[in-house]
C-alpha cells in the first residue's frame, strides 16, 4: 500500500506471500469483487484460479507513480495474458474490466455475485 512507503515493513513481504500461495499444494481460489490493483492483482495472480464479478477491475497502476510491480506480477501476468497484453498493462497502468480481463486470460471466470443458483461471494 502506498501509505506504507517510507515506513518499516510489518508482517511478511508480499512477494513471500505470493510465492507461498503459488507453491500451495491445495488449490487457492481468489474472488474479486471490486478492484484488484497493484499488490491486490499480484496476490490474485499467485492464486491458482481467479473468479470475478462483472464490476471487478484489475490492473498494475504502480507505473503511474514511477515504480514497477515488485511481487512477481511482471512474471506471472505474461504467463496468463501473453507478453504483448502484459507489457501494455504494466507500462500504462491501465485498469481492465473483468470481462476484458477474462478474454485476456487474467481472470478465469466472471460470475454474478449471489446470482440465481450461485452462492454469494461474501456475506
Q: Active site residue: 22, 42, 84, 112, which one?
A: 42
Q: Active site residue: 19, 22, 62, 112, which one?
A: 62
Q: Is 42 a catalytic residue?
A: yes
Grid coordinates of 87: 507489457
Q: Is 62 a catalytic residue?
A: yes
No. of H helices and E strands in the chain?
5, 6
Grid coordinates of 39: 499488490
DSSP state of 82: -
Tell me the C-alpha distance between 97 and 92, whole Å.
15
Please report, for residues 18, 84, 86, the alpha-carbon distance to residue 14 in angstroms, rounded to integers and kept in the order given.
6, 25, 20
- Give me the active site residues, please: 42, 62
Amino acid at each position: 500500500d502506498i501509505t506504507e512507503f517510507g515506513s518499516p515493513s510489518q508482517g511478511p513481504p508480499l512477494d513471500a506471500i505470493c510465492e507461498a500461495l503459488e507453491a500451495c499444494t491445495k488449490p487457492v481460489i481468489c474472488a474479486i469483487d471490486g478492484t484488484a490493483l497493484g499488490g491486490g492483482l499480484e496476490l490474485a495472480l499467485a492464486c491458482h484460479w481467479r473468479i470475478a464479478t462483472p464490476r471487478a477491475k484489475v490492473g498494475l497502476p504502480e507505473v503511474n507513480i514511477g515504480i514497477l510491480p515488485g511481487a512477481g506480477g511482471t512474471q506471472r501476468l505474461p504467463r496468463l495474458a501473453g507478453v504483448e497484453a502484459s507489457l501494455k498493462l504494466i507500462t500504462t497502468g491501465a485498469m481492465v474490466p473483468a470481462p476484458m480481463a477474462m478474454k485476456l486470460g487474467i481472470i478465469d471466470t466472471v460470475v454474478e455475485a449471489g446470482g440465481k443458483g450461485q452462492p454469494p461471494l461474501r456475506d
